[in-house]
Amino acid sequence: MRAVTVSRFGGPDAVEITEHPRPEPGPGQVRIKVAAAALNPVDAAMRSGVFGGQGRIGLGFDVAGTVDAVGPGAAWSTGDRVIALATGHHKPLGTHADHVVLDGGTLAPAPATLDDLHAATLPLNTTTAAQSLRLLALAPGQSLLVTGAAGGVGAHTVELAHRQGLKVTGLDSATHEDYLLSRGADHFLTRGQPLAVAGFDGVLDAARLGREALAAVRDGGVYAGLWPGQEPESERGIRVDALGVRADGALLTELSALADQGVLRARVAETYPLHSAAQAHARLSRGGLPGRIVLVP
């Protein structure tokens, strides 16, 4: 089978399509025939060497597809339509492939109202958003600033935070204001506006603003980043943390249901065939996309 991998770090030209034996599921595992797999900024970070590693590394975290083989003890059946998150920065094969084998506990039923292209954008971004809100642990009525609020993680954080009763402010470029207000943001700030006097109870720093975002948090508040090791140092009694996202099939099942209810909106910007993965990485690097790029085997 084909898979998208890198054996050296670099730009989009480092991306390769390589051939591998079709994997077989072991105990508790399932094999998914991939129908669609989103391309995320973390894939570009892996490709460029942000997380290091040696040998050949497989790319891809998100997958939507159909179970086509089941290992002993896995609670799934062939033909089940599923979504899943495959975490790990040094895995030999990722979800950007014709097939992927994952632990059965990481899978969730695919949203019935979404096609595979849109369903494939959900696992990583919605799981990250939900686990970030757990990490922040804000109470209903408290204020949350989301930087990079129009991105995949940021927009889903706005949606989920609004549902939890938080007072949500989205920070991004002015072109995204209407969209974020429609998804549940109570207020909007344009990137470049001063933040230091805002005094938010918490901030999710999806845009990696670091100390600029920390300055927007009140004394004794909480800051959460998405890149462990890159968060700013604590000051003024602020709890500073960063999320290491974890695959969680039970949580993803809840999030899939919220997508069916319209709480979470999946956005596909462009699609590319799997064999054009390098071109997809090049397009991702240019930015400005209102949603995810999705690879289709």
Q: Verify that 71 and 136 share a domain, yes or no.
A: no
- Whether 35 and 108 map to the same domain: the answer is yes
User: Per-residue pLDDT averaged across 189-211, rounded?
Assistant: 88
| One domain for residues 77 and 111 | yes
Q: Is the pLDDT of residue 163 over 70?
A: yes
**Do 158 and 234 lie in a common domain?**
yes
In a domain, 255, yes or no: no
74/138 same-domain check: no
- Phi/psi of residue 39, nearest 5 degrees: -105, 125
| 3-state DSSP percent of the chain in helix, strand and coil, to 5 | 30, 30, 40
In a domain, 261, yes or no: no
What is the rounded CA–CA span in Å between residue 156 and residue 127?
Answer: 9
Q: Where are the beta strands (DSSP E) in 127-179?
A: 143-147, 167-172
Split into its structural domains, the chain has a count of 2
Please check whether residue 257 lies inside any domain of the structure.
Answer: no
pLDDT tens-digit series, residues 49-63? 999 999 999 999 999
Domain range for 21 is 2-122+267-296
Burial of 181 (C-beta count, 10 Å sphere; 0-12/13-18/19+): middle
Q: Do residues 285 and 193 share a domain?
A: no
Range with the poorest average pLDDT among 120-124, 187-191, 255-259: 187-191
- Answer yes or no: is 259 within a domain: no
pLDDT in the model for residue 174: 94
Residues 113 and 141 in one domain: no
Alpha-carbon dihedral angle through residues 116, 70, 59, 97, given to the nearest 10 degrees: -60
Pair 14, 259: CB distance under 8 Å: no
* Average pLDDT value for residue range 266-273: 98
Let me know whether 109 and 29 are in one domain.
Answer: yes
Q: Could you tell me if residue 147 is inside a domain?
A: yes
Helix (H, G, I), strand (E, B) or coil at 130: helix
The CATH code of the domain that includes 279 is 3.90.180.10
Q: Do 185 and 147 sit in the same domain of this protein?
A: yes
133 plus 162 within the same structural domain: yes
Q: Do 16 and 104 belong together in one domain?
A: yes
Q: What is the pLDDT of residue 196?
A: 60
Phi, psi of 127 (to 5 degrees): -65, -45
Residues 130 and 117 in one domain: no
Q: What is the pTM of this model?
A: 0.96
Residue 253, domain member (yes or no): no
CATH of the domain at 237: 3.40.50.720
Q: Does residue 236 come out as left (phi exceeding 0), alpha (psi in the -120 to 50 range) or beta?
A: left
Query: Hey, is 180 helix, strand or coil?
Result: helix
Residue type, 226: L
Mean pLDDT of 94-121: 98
Query: Taking 70 as the threshold, does the pLDDT of residue 259 lie above it?
Result: yes
Nearest 5°: phi and psi at 153? -70, -45
